[in-house]
């Protein structure tokens, strides 16, 4: 395995989608390639950063909904009756 | 991942609210709009990144939901159901919008030399704690970087990694194959990694 192949399929490796034999190949490559160790670490942190946006948005109170939008939705609802 | 729309926000009993709406209680419809609009607007903004389109998507979504409220059997929760409808409405707005020329994703993907090593060696990133997920500044940086991704990649990243949809649901909403979604998600994450790299590599403040 080389770095190009590792980088191309590292998502499959990261999420455990590979058969044992292929996974062992990835592990062997990682054991001898510090660059791919760094790349994998930063790829994983990128996913964590992205997912944390949803967590922070849902745990914080929503911004005040614009009153004009609420009124527009309720008026449209009234017209559709 | 948790849905971004709580099913019973605040003190509101979503099951009882749904039952009142299905009985035609107009006050219940108004309550529903008041408690869910804020969070649904945040969802729509993440997809269309244009305030007018985001607001239109929320309105489209509510009206579509209300039209079908009678047939909603409650297998999903009210908040989850509204979330999916607004995501779909926002995607509809996105498709109708005039597309602008976009940067190629290729420049944001790793490049390799003849020896199959990356031409630019990856630098180590800061520890997770130092990346500062809890800091507003870091979150804004990630948001702005996601905005820079080409649209077909950004959309998949937002639906999968932020809105919490699975691969099959994302493929269905975007009308494409699951294999395409998986490839685009991987490319989007790689490109976002490249955009964040200058800020999160060790030694940067």
ipTM: 0.90
> Mean per-residue pLDDT for B34-44?
93
Chain A partners within 8 Å of B161 (Cβ)? 47, 50-51, 54
pLDDT tens for each residue of B150-179: 999 999 999 999 999 999 999 999 999 999
CATH number of B14-96: 1.10.1740.10
> Mean per-residue pLDDT for A33-61?
87
Contact between B133 and A18 (Cβ < 8 Å): no
Range of the domain at A46: 3-60
Outline which parts of chain B fall under CATH 1.10.10.10. 106-200
Q: Phi first, then psi: what are they for B112, rounded to 5°?
A: -125, 145
The answer to whether residue A71 is domain-embedded is no
Of A38-47, B129-138, B173-182, the range with the lowest mean pLDDT is B129-138
Packing angle of the helix pair B14-22, B26-48 (nearest 10 deg): 110
Packing angle of the helix pair B14-22, B78-96 (nearest 10 deg): 70
**Nearby residues of B117 by Cβ (< 8 Å), 6 or more positions away:** A2, A3, A35
A48 CB-side CA count, 13 A: 16
pTM, full prediction: 0.88
Chain B partners within 8 Å of A50 (Cβ)? 142, 146, 157, 161-162, 189, 192
> Mean per-residue pLDDT for B66-88?
88
Angstrom distance (rounded) from CA B124 to CA A48: 16
When CB atoms are compared, the residue of A36, A53, A62 closest to B39 is: A62
Outline which parts of chain B fall under CATH 1.10.1740.10. 14-96
User: How far is the alpha carbon of B203 from chain A, nearest alpha carbon, in Å?
Assistant: 15
**Quick one: pLDDT at residue B7?**
61
CATH number of B106-200: 1.10.10.10
Q: Give chain A's domain count.
A: 1
Angstrom distance (rounded) from CA B182 to CA B175: 14
Q: Is A52 on the interface with B (CB under 8 A)?
A: yes
Contact between A12 and B183 (Cβ < 8 Å): no
């Amino acid at each position: 395995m080389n770095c190009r192949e590792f980088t191309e399929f590292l998502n499959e490796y990261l999420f455990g989608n590979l058969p044992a034999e292929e996974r062992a190949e990835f592990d062997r490559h990682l054991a001898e390639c510090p660059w791919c160790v760094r790349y994998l670490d930063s790829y994983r942190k990128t996913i964590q950063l992205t997912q944390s946006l949803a967590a922070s948005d849902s745990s914080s109170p929503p911004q005040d909904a614009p009153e004009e939008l609420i009124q527009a939705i309720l008026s449209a609802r009234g017209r559709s009756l | 991942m948790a849905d971004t729309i709580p099913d019973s926000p605040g003190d509101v009993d979503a099951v009882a609210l749904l039952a009142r709406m299905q009985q035609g209680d107009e006050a219940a419809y108004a309550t529903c709009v008041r408690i869910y609009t804020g969070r649904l607007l945040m969802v729509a903004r993440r997809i269309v990144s244009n305030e007018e389109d985001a607001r239109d998507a929320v309105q489209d979504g509510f009206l579509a939901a209300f039209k079908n409220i009678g047939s909603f059997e409650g297998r999903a929760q009210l908040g989850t159901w509204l979330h999916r409808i607004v995501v779909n409405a926002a995607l509809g707005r996105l498709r109708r919008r005039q597309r602008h020329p976009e940067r190629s994703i290729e420049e944001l993907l790793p490049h390799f030399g003849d020896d199959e090593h990356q031409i630019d060696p990856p630098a180590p990133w800061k520890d997770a704690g130092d990346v500062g997920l809890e800091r507003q500044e870091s979150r804004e940086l990630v948001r702005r970087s996601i905005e820079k991704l080409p649209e077909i990649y950004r959309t998949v990243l937002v639906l999968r990694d932020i809105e919490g949809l699975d691969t099959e649901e994302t493929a269905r909403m975007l009308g494409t194959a699951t294999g395409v979604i998986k490839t685009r998600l991987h490319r989007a994450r790689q490109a976002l990694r490249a955009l964040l790299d200058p800020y999160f590599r060790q030694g940067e403040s």
